[in-house]
Every structure is written in C-alpha cells, then in structure tokens.
Structure 1
Amino acid sequence: MTRFKRFAALAVLGIAASSMVAAFVLWRDPFLLVRGEFARQRVAAGLSRGSVEVAGHRWSYAVREADDPSAPTVVMLHGFTGSKENWYPLAAALGARYRLLIPDLPGWGESERKPGTVYGFTQQAANVDAFVRALSPGKPVVLLGHSMGGGIAALAAARYPQDIGKVGLLDAAGVRFKDNAFGLDVLAGRNPFAVEDDASLQRYIDIVFHDARAKPWLPWPASTALIRKRRADADFEQAVLARIGRSEESLLPGEGAVRIRQPALLLWCRQDAVIDASALELYAQRIPQARKVLLDGCGHMSLMERPAEVADAVVALVDR
C-alpha cells in the first residue's frame, strides 16, 4: 500500500470513528444540538448565564451588563411554552446599550418547577417583582413581556409601580381579543400548542410564526427530543393554560392595566394568529399614554421575526 493510500485509509477510519462518537453522543443526549445552538446565540448576543434563589424558586437567567454602568436595566419575560432563549435575537439587536436580565420564569425552561404550585398571572407577577427587587435593588426596571409574559408584565406594572419604571407589552395575553381559532380552542379546554408528534410540532411552529424565514429548523434527533419533552410537559402546560386562559384570572392583566401610569409600549404583529392584534387597542384603551406599534408581515413571535424593529421600539420606550 502506498503512503497516500495508507493516509487515505486512516482518514476514512478517523471520519468513521468521529461519526460513530457523534452519533453515540447524540443518542445519549439528543437535545445537545438545541442547547449548542442556544449557547451560540447567547454568546453572540454577549450574554452570560446566571442563577439565583428568589421567591422560593431557583431561577436560571441570561444577563448582559451595559457599557454604561448607569444605564437602565431591562427585564424580559417569555411567553407560554417559551423560554429566555426567545429573547436572544432582540438582545443581540439591543447590544450593550442597557443592562439585560432575561429569566426563565418559575416552572419553565431551566428554572425550578414545584409540584402543586400555581403558575398563573398573579403568582408570576409577584415572583417577577421579587426577582426585580433581588437583582435591581432600589432601581426600577423596564419590564418587557411577550404573550403570557406580557400579561404578567402588565399585572406587575399595575401592582408594583415602585419597582417597574416602564413597561412594554408584546403580543400580550390578558384581554378578551377578537375570536380566532387559537382563542376558541383555549376556551373549549384544548391546548392549541400541544406537541405529540412531528405533525403537531410543525403545526405549533406554523401557529406562532408567520414569517417563514424566522421559523426554527429542528433536525433529527433534536426534534424527537423536543417532542418527548413537550409530551412530558403536557399536564403542566394544560394546568397553566387553564389558569391564564380560562379561569377568573385570565383577564386580570387587562383589568389591572387601567392602573398603569408608567410610560408604556404596546407592540403587535398584524398577522398574530395567537393573540389577535385587536388586543392592542383593548390595552390602549386602558393605557392611553402607551405608544402603539403595529408591525406587518409577522406573527406571534415579533421578538424573533422582527428583532430590529422591536429593538427600535424598545429604545424609544427606554430613552424617551
């Protein structure tokens, strides 16, 4: 065998061995690809990981300090079935202009979930206020909330104005918006976000995203791992959805919003198939001082589909 052939044979063996190792690692931990992509986005946005014990829970959060130590702190709350990673595109667009705190809410993502605990709007608003007081003591923050997180942010701003200096609601839950398929399913006791197989995973993605360019790509085996996790979370998701979508608590954010006196932002996408854009005007009636922004060509995930435009709106809120 010539030297070149021996080298080529060794190279093929090396590639085969590496492929076998990679396949074994992914078999043992199929969610590794997703975590790796999240880590890449976190680093690209200049964020680091943090953990804190607050309100009886261990919180996982992402943080980025501002270039200017005196800059405002912006806290970002994710939505139902979401996580802190949903905010990474916006965090990248904002850069180091502000101090950013992006938690997984208790019960979600990498934060602690306690059996038997109710994770509705009221409890989560109190949890968020405790988080704010712990990580920004004596300094009111700008609180941004998306979807379920928007309902939590509205209630927190209404109840804890001493800690919430400004508030931004993005595609926020908490008002009785115009009927759509998603809302009717929720009222009928179903979970339109439920994921049980490949088809329902794709349906879930298609519901929350309108812009095809922003839809996440989930290759096997990451898709299988996500489906398995969402199946395991099905009872928890249904319990939370019953609380925030069908109980007497479901409209508390909109009712409480009349007490919001802080500067505010209301931002929606016209093609939102989850929280219909009619909700923007319903919140605006209760928060007349709010700046209204309606984006076109995007769906429920405005913070991921249009991060640059959302960043512009956030800067206008914070700096005005």
Structure 2
Amino acid sequence: MNTKSLVAAVAASIVGHMAQAAPLASTSSTTTYHRVMVDGVGIFYREAGPKDAPTIVLLHGFPSSSREFDPLIPLLATRYHLVAPDFPGFGQSDAPSPSAYVYTFDHLAQTTNALLEQLNIHRYTLYLHDYGGPVGFRIVLAHPERLQALVIQNANAYKEGLGAKWAGIAQYWADRKAHPEVLDTFMSLTAAEQRHTAGTSQPDRYNPDTWTDEYAHLSKPGQHEIQGDLLYDYQTNVASYPAWQAWLRQYKPQTLVVWGRNDPSFIAAGGETFRRDLPDAEIHLLDAGHFAIDEQVDEIARLMLTFLDSHLGKP
C-alpha cells in the first residue's frame, strides 16, 4: 500500500471510530406518526428526531392537537427527540363518550403520563401550551425527578394572566346548565378564528385552514359534551395555581417562557408573573397571539435551541 492510500485508510478508520464513539445529531427532520392503545384509549402522537437525544414532549392547547407543532418540530428535530401526543378527545386520538372516559384534566394528565411511560420516556423537557399547561403541571407535580426543563408558551398558572373573557366562563363554572351560551360561544367558528388571529399584527402568517379544521373537529358528534366537561373542569386548574406556584418555588426548574403578548385569553401578565416564583427564568414576550408558533416560529425555535443547549448541553 502506498503512502497516500495508507493515510486515506487511517483517516477513514479514525472517522469511523469517532462516529461509533460519539454519534452525530440527526440530519433529518422527518416526522413520523403513531397510534398506540393507552388504558383502552387509542392515542395518536407525532415523533421526530434522534431517539438518543434529549426528549422534548410537546403538549398542545384547545381546540388544536399535536398538529399545532408542525411548524416547530422540523426546526428542533435535527438536535432533539420530539414527541407530541393528541389528548383524548382531540386530533387523531380516540374521543370516547364521557360515559366511557371521564374528561377532566386529572384524567388527561394520567393518560398522557401513561403514554410516556409506555414509550419508556422517563426524562424530558415539557413544552406547555394552553390546555397542555394543566396537563403538564399535573405530570411534573407527580414526577418532579423526570423533568429536565420547562418551556411555557401561553400556558397560564397565575390569576394575573386571565383575560376578560374568563369572567363569563366563571358563570359557566357556577351553573353550567344556566349558561349554555358560554359553551356555544366557546365552540363557535368565530371563536376558533379569533383564538388564532385576535391581536395579531401579522395576519398573513395565519393559515385559515387551521381554524376551519378545528371548527370541523368541534362540530363532530360528542364534542359538545366532551369540551363542555373540560371547560367546566378548568376551574380546578385555577384552584390549583397556588400548588403549581409552590412547586415552582420549591424545585426551581430551568424555565423558558415564550409568551404571545397579544393573547386576549392569557394576557401578557401571565407570562411576566412567572418571575415571581422563578427569578432566574428566561422570559420573552413576543409580538404574537395565543398560538404564538403561527407567527413567531423561527424566533421560538431560536430561543429554545439556545436555552436547551445551554441547560442540557449540546446533543
């Protein structure tokens, strides 16, 4: 073997050894789609990224599904492992009748935690949005040792963050039978659109298919009862705020807040107030609404990658 060939062979051997000893992050952002049975309920989830990288669990809001994370997942998946489930009653997961599945946030959290355990995911960063907040907080209160970091996006944990519309919802909590109009408004096409576009300065970044698809889902048989039960149970989340805040003070998780400051439902004060219990939290109020990913996905991805690389180490 001549000198040139010998050098090439040695270099190839070294590169091969390095690849085996320290695998590079995936160069693929392909999302795959899965469905498994969890406690008798079919649960759908999206997955992307290398499975040996740190895991980010993305928990969606109302009335969406894991689909809301479609713009964000490819921007993170080359460096992190992502799992985004649909809660029972949402997206592609089963929507059993309330007589077969009790629709409370306690139960959604139990099912979501059971899914993670079934997938053998025992360490993770949680991304919490809207309904994903009360689901995620219940999970971390039960299993604080599993949390590596929190990313909070318009997922409220303080009364200061409740916008004006919650006064009407409080009437529903007081007597749901006397105020059916609250639920009807909550599930209307107009409300579905406004959850995305209210307060936005960049309406051209919103795909109208999003809210028409969400409204079509809400119009399916059984959804009125399912969403009515969850809206009624939401009062347990407000009652739990002090417990969640005490947990934050006790465990002080590494936390990034990326809050759409134009959200009329969970107003900007809700994002800022996390500093009361987490003085070291990184808080960014973005020029966006309730579904901040719709118009600030690049900025959210940039902030997340910088934050996670700093606190978890580069994959």
Superposition TM-score tier, normalisation by shorter sequence? 0.7 to 0.9
For residue 266 of structure 1, what is the aligned residue in structure 2?
257
Pick closer, same or farther for the CA change 1:282–1:106 going to 2, 3 Å: same
Pair 1:50 & 2:34 matched: yes
Pick closer, same or farther for the CA change 1:249–1:208 going to 2, 3 Å: same
C-alpha contact 2:263 2:289 (8 A) present in aligned 1: yes
Alignment match of 1:143 (pick from 107, 111, 126): 126
Aligned length: 267
Pair 1:281 & 2:269 matched: no
Alignment match of 1:234 (pick from 186, 202, 224): 224
Amino acid at match of 2:76: L
Correspondence list, 1:81-160, <5 A:
81-116=63-98, 117-137=101-121, 139-160=122-143
Query: Which blocks of at least 5 consecutive residues in structure 1 are unaligned?
Result: 1-43
Please state whether the residue corresponding to 2:95 is helix, strand or coil. coil
Pick closer, same or farther for the CA change 1:182–1:162 going to 2, 3 Å: same
C-alpha contact 2:103 2:226 (8 A) present in aligned 1: no
CA deviation after TM superposition for structure 1 residue 203, in Å = 4.0
CA deviation after TM superposition for structure 1 residue 166, in Å = 1.6
Alignment match of 2:54 (pick from 72, 79, 83): 72
Amino acid at match of 1:167: L
Q: For each residue in 1:116-137, what CA deviation from the matched residue of structure 2 results, as whole angstroms up to 9, or x when unmatched?
A: 2333332222222222222234
CA deviation after TM superposition for structure 1 residue 100, in Å = 0.8
CA deviation after TM superposition for structure 1 residue 168, in Å = 1.4
Distance 2:131 2:38 in 1: 20
Q: For each residue in 1:136-160, what CA deviation from the matched residue of structure 2 results, as whole angstroms up to 9, or x when unmatched?
A: 34x4011111111123223322321
Please state whether the residue corresponding to 2:208 is helix, strand or coil. coil
Q: For each residue in 1:58-107, what CA deviation from the matched residue of structure 2 results, as whole angstroms up to 9, or x when unmatched?
A: 210111132xx531011100001110110011112223211111111122
Distance 1:210 1:118 in 2: 39
Distance 1:153 1:208 in 2: 26
Alignment match of 1:300 (pick from 271, 290, 298): 290
C-alpha contact 1:157 1:167 (8 A) present in aligned 2: no
For residue 21 of structure 1, what is the aligned residue in structure 2?
none
Distance 1:101 1:77 in 2: 9
C-alpha contact 1:168 1:264 (8 A) present in aligned 2: yes
Normalising to structure 2: TM-score of the pair? 0.75
Amino acid at match of 1:194: F
Distance 2:162 2:57 in 1: 30
Alignment match of 1:194 (pick from 169, 186, 201): 186
Amino acid at match of 1:135: L
Query: Which blocks of at least 5 consecutive residues in structure 2 are unaligned?
Result: 1-27, 173-181, 311-315
